[in-house]
Structure 1
Amino acid sequence: MRDAVLNMLLDNVGNFVSGEDISRKLGITRAAVWKYIRLLQGQGYVIESSTKKGYCLRQIPDILDKVLIVHGLNTSILGKNIEIHSSIDSTNARAKELALNGACEGTVVIADEQVQGRGRLGRSWVSPPGKGIWMSVILRPRLSPQDVPRITIMTAVAVAEALKRCAQVEVGIKWPNDIVCSGKKLCGILTEVHAEPEVIHYAVVGIGLNVNLSIEDFPEDIRSMATSLRIERGKEFHRVDIIKAILQEMEKGYLQKLDGDGFAELLKEYERRSVILKRRVRVIGVGGEFLGCAEGFGEDGSLMLRLDDGSLQRILAGDVSIRGENGYV
């Protein structure tokens, strides 16, 4: 019932809704309406009350509320089932557990804080409470396992488009899975799959986006290469608005651009946003380091690298990292 009251207020943000209307439509007493209004106010919603006019939602707090995410989401798959945690070890770990137990496609796991957030190659991901978007999405794509990198490409473009739309910030993509701004890492994407040679049972796409972190929130050893929307734009953002935009852009790419002409178009957009294309980069892997010029990307998500001896080498994301010739980018 609390959610129903909130939905009525959200449908009329900035306008008064009479307590009588809420009472009648929801089939509860005026006293019960007031109880839920007080509950919402205690959770940070700024609600003006007037004896004659009723209740008016004036300000929405930056909290991870399922009602806020679902309201106006307008997706057919992504976000139809949402699980929110105040604190969790890893949203990807939880999403994989749910997927193994048959969770529906499009299920989203979101946490206010991760205590064991992970990036690629087993690296830790700083995920302090209330400061970022730490979420994972369960997909069940009709792709062959070798095409899994397309999911990361789709997600990277979706995040870039969402940030342009709702945060007015232009970002670049650093192969294979980083979103960068001003030469620093803003967001990481971690795609994990459960598959057999011919079929993908599920894919879990984890997104870690630094939203309202200050420079002091980052460990000293990564401050020179990490950033946040707050640092870049000089203001704080409502995380729910960005979550909704990402889910909307992801669904668009997932349903329309994972194969055929759609993926060719998507790959062009990925290349357009690349911060390493036509530049010299360092490839760091278990076998050592080597330099080359990034010439393009394959449909399998590989990086085509022109080595100093003139040969062209195909690099799979696997267990390698990419750095600029003299730094992170």
Structure 2
Amino acid sequence: MKPLTFALLRLLTDEQYHSGEMLAQRLGVSRASVNNALQGMENYGLTLHSVPGRGYCLIHPPQWLDIALISLHLGAQLDPFRIEIFDSLPSSNTLLLQRAQLGAPCGTVLAVEWQSNGRGRFDRAWHSGLGNALTFSLLWRFDLGVSALSGLSLAVGVALIRALHSLGMTAARLKWPNDVVGRNNEKLAGILIEAQGDMLGPSAIVIGIGLNLSLPAQILPRINQPVSSLADLFPCPPPIPVPERNCLFACILRELRSILSGFGEGGFPVLREEWEHHHAFHDQKVRLLLPDGSTRTGITRGVNDEGALILETSDGIQTLHSGEIGLRA
């Protein structure tokens, strides 16, 4: 998506009709450039009406991320966050990993309105439209080595659950090892942890999070797994709007700050019971998809202090670390 497109979309956030001529004059471009820049908006999950004689109208415009609003919501808890917002990036995790190598400070946050190459576990693509998801990466530095950070992805899941539940979305639950799911166990959010550093420390961890706020019909055909959004968690009727995007972002950052600050001291064991309480598949029969293509079935019996899944099988109790393992009901 071109910078001109973002500039035009921001001029159309009032849901009123604006002529192509007026938009061209405002931005100092040609009328043809305006038309070209606004083509294919449906590919980004947007609905743009174009009416001859009236101009363009953007229906349900995005809630744009705003550093000033996020900072206002964070208040005294703004430190240590250093937030940067991009209109478009291939991947916020990739860029932040590069910046981490160059010495970016702990608390650096890169948020993106639209990612062209967002990714999750197994290098799966993360698909979302423009403004209907939160996609961001956070850099956190630990004095500990990478080997001492077992269970970190589960701890981040607890932070997300705390934030969502505090805003009334109590139907959100966790799925081992690093997903948040909705009422029907459909994926609501994903967590991607990537690490730099030595086994004995220090280490730099980039935490990538993608959270669906809503799911435009145009985006769904690209997604190859059951998915959900925050909009699905609210009762309807009457319709209750999803929390304002900047407020939601600040709430998540606040909980991440609390969890990560404590993780360096107590690790995952102090969060283990809380994580198990919110696990969607606790004490349920599941099927695990193993890296070699085989499957294993059993009943989940919680997780251990390293965040590994405890599975009761016909052969006894087994402990499985996340790695490349998938979990299904």
TM-score, structure 1 normalization? 0.75
Say yes or no: does 1:86 pair with 2:81: no
Q: State yes or no: 1:301 paired with 2:307.
A: yes
Cα distance in 1 between the residues matched to 2:145 and 2:155: 16
Deviation at 1:293, TM superposition (A): 1.3
CA-to-partner distance for each residue in 1:59-104, whole Å, 9 max, x for gaps?
A: xx8211111111131325442x111111110111111111111111
User: In structure 2, what is the Cα distance between the partners aligned to 1:146 and 1:128?
Assistant: 36
What's the offset of the Cα at 1:297?
A: 0.8
| Map of 2:196 onto structure 1 | 194
Contact 2:127/2:223 (<8 A) preserved:
no
How far does the alpha carbon of each residue in 1:237-277 deviate from its partner, in whole angstroms, 9 at most, with x for none?
A: 421111100000111111124443x7433111101001122
1:240 aligned partner: 246
Residue identity in the other structure for 2:252? I
Quick one: distance in 2 between partners of 1:159 and 1:264? 18
Partner residue, 2:321? 316
Alignment pair present for 1:290 and 2:296: yes
Identify which of 272, 275, 278 aligns with 1:270. 275
Q: Deviations over 1:195-223 (max 9, x none)?
A: 22212430000000001223543226546
How many corresponding residue pairs? 267
Partner amino acid for 2:283?
K
- Which residue of the partner structure matches residue 208 of structure 2? 206
Partner of 2:44: none
**Which stretch of the first structure deviates more once superposed, 240-249 or 151-160?**
151-160
In 1, are the aligned partners of 2:182 and 2:228 still within 8 Å (CA)?
yes
**Partners of 1:83 and 1:43 in 2: how far apart?**
23
Whether 1:67 and 2:95 are equivalent positions in the alignment is no
Contact 2:283 2:300 in 1 (8 A): yes
Structure 2 CA distance for aligned equivalents of residues 305 and 265 of structure 1: 21
Deviates more, 1:94-103 or 1:202-211: 94-103
Q: How does 1:1-329 map to 2 (within 5 A)?
A: 62-73=63-74, 74-75=76-77, 77-79=79-81, 81-182=82-183, 183-219=185-221, 222=224, 225-233=226-234, 234=239, 235-260=241-266, 263-287=268-292, 288-309=294-315, 311-324=316-329
> The residue matched to 1:293 in structure 2 has which SS?
strand
Amino acid corresponding to residue 204 of structure 1 in structure 2: V
Judge conservation of contact 2:175–2:280 (CA < 8 Å) in 1.
yes
Q: Distance in 2 between matches of 1:312 and 1:155?
A: 26
Q: CA RMSD in A?
A: 2.3
Paired amino acid for 1:116: N
Q: Distance in 2 between matches of 1:229 and 1:279?
A: 25
Q: Give the corresponding residue for 1:56.
A: none
CA–CA distance in 1 between the matches of 2:202 and 2:129?
32
- Structure 1, unmatched stretches of 5+, are 1-40, 47-60, 325-329
Identity %: 29
Q: Which amino acid in 2 is paired with 1:143?
A: L
Match of 1:21 in 2: none
